Amino acid sequence: MNLLARLQRFALIAALLVAPPASAGFIPPPPEVAARSWVLMDAASGNVLAAHEGDTRLPPASLTKMMTAYIATLDMQRGRIKPGEMVTISEKAWRTGGSKMFVDVGKQVSVDDLFHGIIIQSGNDASIAIAEHIAGSEEAFAALMNAEAKRLGMTNTHFVNATGLPDPNHYSSARDMAKLARAIIYADPAHYAIYSQKYFLWNGIQQPNRNLLLWRDDGVDGLKTGHTEEAGYCLVASAQKNGQRLIAAVFGTESEAARAAETAKLLGYGFRFFESRVFHQAGDVLGDVPVWKGAAQSVKGVLAEPLAASVARGELAGLVTRTTFKSPLIAPIRQGDIIGSAEVLQGGKVIRRAAIVAQQTVEPGGFFRRAWDSIRLFFKGLFG
């Protein structure tokens, strides 16, 4: 890139960071990003704020390891594995090429150390060791990865390995990786904090985190880099400023420096022109809903996910919320059944919706309760 082009890029970044928007609610087009595909997402709401080829299927390289680490996190939460549990390193894990944690074949390494090796050192050896420990083989672990991708709505993703080494059937997209990053951030804050660590020392070798933005921006606290010849240089990064968190997923830049610069450009744009608000957290009780023909007369309705929205900076004050419940709500009701919805409206238009679910199960009531409520419902329907 020549000197003039560099100066133009730095000028654009500076403009995004310091220039005020023309007016409240004004959002200019996103900056030019030198990448094959990219997505900018508001973490709280999951809203995509800007994107280019965000659903294009591309090789994710070591971004794959985000899913490897995420499944390990879930297994630790469920008690299936423990951080101090020892893992024997197989010959396959030891022989795998590419980036390494430098674990030795036949040696035992703790789950916690392997977890750090995956996230900070991007170790292919550590990734395979964890995969084999959790699922018995890397192939079986890939099936777990694909099942979790499906659950998260990653519709343009398919994994065949735990490392991201090239394979024609191994692909993902910028939008899908942003979704995965959002799940990682909120799954376990303690484990997510590892993504912000700049170095990890193992076997006498100290390796730096390849996410250059950790050194350049105090707001950046994750997530993961990736690179192969086929994929180019990729980065999924998250930053938090003034209570607002954004996620940027960038695929296919030309160099390590470029992926950092282009990702920073996206994050700067997002923080300058958007703001978000969390109205309710997942699990918040939003109502005590009457139940007909049940053993209990009501059930508590709780949010299945956070109710949040992201809008142009200056427009948050105009947002309102609305809660509606199913009526009549008739037993039996199972815990987790959808019994209503909570919405965020802007100018009368719904811009965000979250399901309200039953906090507990309500079994059918006795004969007389069911009969009496049937009579009441008949007259309620008759007279409105």
What is the C-alpha separation between 208 and 213, in angstroms, rounded? Answer: 12
Judge whether 349 counts as a catalytic residue. no
Helix (H, G, I), strand (E, B) or coil at 250: strand
Reading the block at residue 361, the tokens are 């199960």
Q: Which is the catalytic residue, given 45, 122, 238, 310?
A: 122
Judge whether 173 counts as a catalytic residue. no
Reading the block at residue 343, the tokens are 């919405």
Q: Tell me which amino acid residue 328 is.
A: P
Judge whether 122 counts as a catalytic residue. yes
* ∠ CA 235-237-243, rounded to 5°: 170
Instruction: Give the DSSP H/E element, type plus range, for residue 247.
Output: strand 244-253
Nearest to 152 by CA among 119, 177, 127, 188: 177
Handedness of CA 87, 91, 92, 94 (dihedral sign): positive
DSSP result, 76-98: HHTTSS-TT-EEEPPHHHHH--S
What is the C-alpha separation between 268 and 271, in angstroms, rounded? Answer: 5
Q: Which is the catalytic residue, given 45, 65, 238, 265?
A: 65
Residues β-bridged to residue 341: 324, 355
Nearest to 356 by CA among 297, 299, 277: 299
Instruction: Give Dmax over CA atoms of the chain in angstroms.
Output: 84
Instruction: Give the DSSP H/E element, type plus range, for residue 167.
Output: none
Handedness of CA 19, 20, 23, 26 (dihedral sign): positive
Q: Which is the catalytic residue, given 37, 62, 99, 310?
A: 62
Reading the block at residue 270, the tokens are 């997002």
Determine the straight-line distance between the first and last CA of the chain, rounded to whole angstroms: 72
What is the C-alpha separation between 203 and 325, in angstroms, rounded? Answer: 58
Q: Is the peptide bond before 223 cis (omega within 30 degrees of 0)?
A: yes
Catalytic residues: 62, 65, 122
